[in-house]
């Protein structure tokens, strides 16, 4: 029995046409996984098309981030053999966030909705139907949220969840346990295009757009081939970019720390003056050395944090392009 799903959108209050879905998939040195990813997504898209959930003009778009292996050649080969496959080639390696943005901005006028996901398909594609149904229910943005972190090591789980909590404390409006697995309507994508930040952190920028949103819970799978493109060093850099791009609390923290240290020094000064008159003072080189090193370390830390913000301001004022598209295979 063929299940027929009638797509409707409550926002329009009537039966609507089947709408075009584009899957945007950033790739960097993913030659080991691309053929399997194409196969699985082809089966899934065809199933959604036959169910009447999406238009037969829906596509999957692989965005090559200047890969050093055969990723782009494989994408071109898949494009020639599979009508569902499109390809975008970045002129050079620009990083995951810029590559994802390049894909989304390139297809925003080609589709009605776009879902971003990783090339390794650790994100569960069986919930794609749920994303689309929530879109038809009127949601402009739907976030994929991990229901558990069973596949993560203790260290990765602890640091990842700690990062989300720190971001919340810093005042950033991010969705807990959400990465970049999300659906955005063409309307939301056009609003995203108005954000001109060079220092991109899409997990923090997308919630700023607003509109009606919802979440889809899913379990993340193990990577079936290849290796992770996010080692610890890159994850820490990504976290630092997120914090400094979305919050000025670190600078405010330094200001508060400076006030506290100044107040503490005044109290110590009063204590030493009283001790001097009471005859309780004693020479102590250790106290002097510790104070110098402590204050010097705090000053260097403060200069480093402030310098990070100044560096970001410098990059923003340059207004350099965030990505350059070398080729678009339609």
Give the DSSP letter string of 271-330. Answer: HHHHHHHHT-----HHHHHHHHHHHHHHHHHHHHHHHHHHHHHHHHHHT--S--EEEEE-
Residues 213 and 254 in one domain: no
Residues 35 and 178 in one domain: yes
CATH number at residue 214: 3.90.550.10
pLDDT of residue 215 exceeding 80, the answer is yes
Residue 175, pLDDT score: 75
DSSP type of residue 123: S
Residue 130 located in a structural domain: yes
Residue 71 located in a structural domain: yes
Residues 157 and 263 in one domain: no
What confidence tier does 5 reach under pLDDT thresholds 50, 70, 90?
very low
The tokens for 69 are: 């292996």
Q: Higher-confidence residue: 42 or 2?
A: 42
Residue 218 located in a structural domain: yes
Q: What's the burial of 137, exposed, middle or buried (CB within 10 Å: 0-12/13-18/19+)?
A: middle
What confidence tier does 290 reach under pLDDT thresholds 50, 70, 90?
low
Residues 28 and 158 in one domain: yes
Residue 208 located in a structural domain: yes
Tell me how many domains the chain contains: 2
Name residues whose C-beta falls within 8 Å of residue 163's C-beta, 6 or more positions apart in sequence: 239, 242
Domain span including residue 78: 8-229+323-329
Residues 50 and 183 in one domain: yes
Residue 286 located in a structural domain: yes
What confidence tier does 14 reach under pLDDT thresholds 50, 70, 90?
very low
Name residues whose C-beta falls within 8 Å of residue 27's C-beta, 6 or more positions apart in sequence: 34, 62, 63, 64, 65, 67, 71, 75, 119
Closest CA to 203 of 134, 82, 305, 116: 116
pLDDT > 70 in the chain, percent = 67
Residues 161 and 269 in one domain: no
Residues 199 and 296 in one domain: no
Residues 91 and 148 in one domain: yes
What confidence tier does 105 reach under pLDDT thresholds 50, 70, 90?
very high
Residues 288 and 179 in one domain: no
Residues 182 and 267 in one domain: no
Residues 160 and 301 in one domain: no
Lowest mean pLDDT among 73-82, 221-230, 248-257: 221-230
- For residue 220, report the phi and psi dihedrals to the nearest 5 degrees: -85, 135
Name residues whose C-beta falls within 8 Å of residue 266's C-beta, 6 or more positions apart in sequence: none
Name residues whose C-beta falls within 8 Å of residue 217's C-beta, 6 or more positions apart in sequence: 127, 145, 146, 147
Residue 149 located in a structural domain: yes
Give the mean pLDDT of the chain.
Answer: 78
- For residue 150, report the phi and psi dihedrals to the nearest 5 degrees: -65, -30
Residue 227, pLDDT score: 59
Residue 46, pLDDT score: 93
What confidence tier does 15 reach under pLDDT thresholds 50, 70, 90?
very low
| Cα gap 115→125, rounded to integer Å | 11
Closest CA to 116 of 184, 205, 175, 57: 184
Residues 280 and 196 in one domain: no
Rounded to an integer, the average pLDDT of 291-297 is 67
Q: Within 13 Å, how many C-alpha atoms sit on residue 213's CB side?
A: 18
Residue 243 located in a structural domain: no
Q: What separation in angstroms does the CA of 309 have from each of 197, 295, 312? A: 13, 21, 5
Cβ-contact 206, 183 below 8 angstroms: no
Name residues whose C-beta falls within 8 Å of residue 284's C-beta, 6 or more positions apart in sequence: none
Rounded to an integer, the average pLDDT of 230-235 is 58
Residue 247, pLDDT score: 64
Q: Higher-confidence residue: 305 or 77?
A: 77
């Amino acid at each position: 029995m063929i299940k027929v799903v009638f797509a409707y959108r409550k926002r329009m209050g009537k039966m609507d046409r089947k709408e075009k879905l584009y899957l945007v998939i950033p790739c960097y040195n993913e030659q080991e996984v691309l053929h399997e990813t194409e196969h699985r997504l082809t089966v899934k898209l065809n199933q959604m098309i036959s169910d009447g959930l999406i238009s037969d003009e829906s596509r999957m778009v692989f965005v090559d981030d200047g890969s050093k292996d055969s990723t782009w050649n494989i994408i071109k080969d898949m494009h020639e053999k599979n009508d569902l496959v499109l390809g975008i080639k970045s002129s050079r390696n620009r990083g995951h966030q810029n590559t994802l943005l390049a894909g989304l901005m390139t297809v925003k006028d080609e589709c009605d909705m776009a879902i971003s996901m990783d090339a390794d398909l650790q994100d569960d594609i069986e919930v794609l139907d749920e994303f689309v149904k929530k879109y038809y229910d009127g949601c402009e943005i739907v976030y994929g949220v991990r229901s558990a972190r069973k596949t993560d090591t203790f260290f990765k789980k602890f640091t990842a969840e700690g990062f989300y909590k720190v971001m919340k404390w810093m005042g950033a409006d991010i969705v807990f346990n959400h990465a970049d697995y999300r659906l955005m309507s063409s309307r939301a994508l056009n609003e995203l295009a108005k954000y001109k930040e060079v220092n991109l952190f899409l997990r923090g920028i997308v919630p700023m757009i607003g509109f009606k949103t919802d979440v889809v819970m899913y379990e993340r799978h193990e990577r079936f081939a290849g290796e992770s493109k996010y080692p610890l060093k890159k994850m820490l850099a990504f976290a630092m970019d997120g914090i400094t791009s979305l919050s000025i609390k670190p600078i405010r923290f330094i200001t508060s720390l400076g006030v506290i240290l100044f107040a503490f020094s005044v109290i110590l000064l009063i204590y030493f003056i009283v001790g001097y008159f009471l005859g309780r003072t004693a020479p102590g080189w250790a106290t002097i050395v510790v104070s110098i090193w402590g204050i010097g370390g705090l000053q260097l830390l403060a200069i480093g944090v402030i310098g990070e913000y100044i560096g970001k301001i410098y990059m923003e004022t340059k207004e350099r392009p965030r990505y350059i598209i070398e080729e678009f295979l339609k």
